[in-house]
Structure 1
Amino acid sequence: MIRYFIPLFVLVHCAFAADRTAAWKKVAEAEANGLPKTAMELLEPIVEGALADKAYAEAVKAITKKIRHHTEIQGGKAEEKIGNLQAEIEDAPDEVKPILQTILAHWYWHFFQQNRWRFMQRTQTGEAAGNDIMSWDLARILAEIDKHFSTALAAGENLQKMSIADYTELLT
């Protein structure tokens, strides 16, 4: 009985992976044709399937692409992209959170680099600036970047279980 179950499981798993490969091709086609909404819609089943199959690297790639396309549709504001990723992190499985936290820290860092002159001209406020990234001072943006990198590194046990080879597409 078990000798039939294992090949069946492998066959089903390969079929789902093949479906996602075809879906990725459709996403690339939509991107090439300048159709971010279509690409975003095509990415949703990829995210769900990858999470169900515990293909976390693929899920992270799909989540970040989906957020980028959503942001592009909404006007391309970096602060919106950051907010969308924060919302995704809250709902993400624990295995994915450290990677998403790292990406979020990088997106904050990139936002800081693009707006460095604004942050350098601001004085530090005595009260908390809230969640509006456009009103933050230098200390707040740097603290937020540090917080997200530290949060990602605090999940050291999860990170050590991950294979870096799975994330090569994100690293290049």
Structure 2
Amino acid sequence: MMKKLYLILTVFMFSQFGNAQANNSYDQLWQQVDKHELENRTKSALQVVETIFSKAKEENNYTQTIKALLHKSAYVMTLEEDAELNIVNEFKSEIELADAPTKQILHSHLANLYWQYFQYNRYKFYNRTTTESKVDPIDFRTWDLNTLFKEIDEHFSASLMSAEKTQSLPIS
């Protein structure tokens, strides 16, 4: 009995050690990101975040994937023209590939991106005429107010799908 208990404890400890190492590698990478941010080296921070993003996707680590995608979005906003469009398109493509709960979280963030865009560009939307359909289905910057609000509503609603499954997931 004692040998079995010892064997079980040993296996458990080694399995936890592997998880700690995986978290440690992410922690080390995020420390590099923080260092680059403090030094105002946005491109360098973006490169590390892209490494984290690729690694997290490969390991199906949805918390790190989402965190990396959000950081990546912030850096891209600083570095690129037409950043809003590129970020929204990346969120859309990630939503297509993602499983629950990542999909719901990304839907929520995408709806929030649309909402923030509206908040900062409200004056543009108030002068636009309503159209029957999306003028350009890819470029949300050309949409009228009703179309944008429908899209925001669709994504917030999609973020609430599979609530039971999402609620059963551990938070940490």
Give the TM-score category using the shorter length: 0.7 to 0.9
1:170 is matched with: none
Residue ranges of structure 2 left out of the alignment (5+ in a row): 1-6
1:52 Cα deviation from its structure 2 partner: 5.9
The answer for the alignment partner of 2:101 in structure 1 is 95
RMSD (Å), alpha carbons:
2.2
Determine which of 31, 37, 40 is the counterpart of 2:37.
31
State TM-score, norm by structure 2: 0.83
Q: Of the candidates 139, 142, 159, which is equivalent to residue 152 of structure 1?
A: 159
Secondary structure of the corresponding residue to residue 159 of structure 2? helix
What is the number of equivalent residue pairs in this alignment? 165
What is the deviation of 1:75? 2.8
Post-superposition offset of 1:48: 4.3
- Provide the C-alpha distance between the structure 1 equivalents of 2:72 and 2:154, rounded to a whole number of angstroms: 24
Among all aligned residue pairs of Structure 1 and Structure 2, give the percentage whose two residues are the same amino acid. Answer: 28
Q: 1:78 is matched with which residue? A: 84
Structure 1: gaps (5+ residues): 167-172
Q: Look up the equivalent residue of 1:30 and give its one-letter code.
A: H
- Structure 1 residue 142: Cα displacement: 0.2
State TM-score, norm by structure 1. 0.83
2:165 and 2:56 mapped to 1: Cα distance? 18
Match of 1:120 among 122, 126, 129: 126
Mark the structure with the bigger radius of gyration: 2
CA distance in 2, matches of 1:61, 1:46: 9
CA contact (8 A) 1:64 1:85 kept: no
Conserved 8 A contact 1:67-1:85: no
Report the CA distance shift for 1:38/1:93 in structure 2 as closer, same or farther (over 3 A). Answer: farther
Change (3 A) 1:23 1:115: same
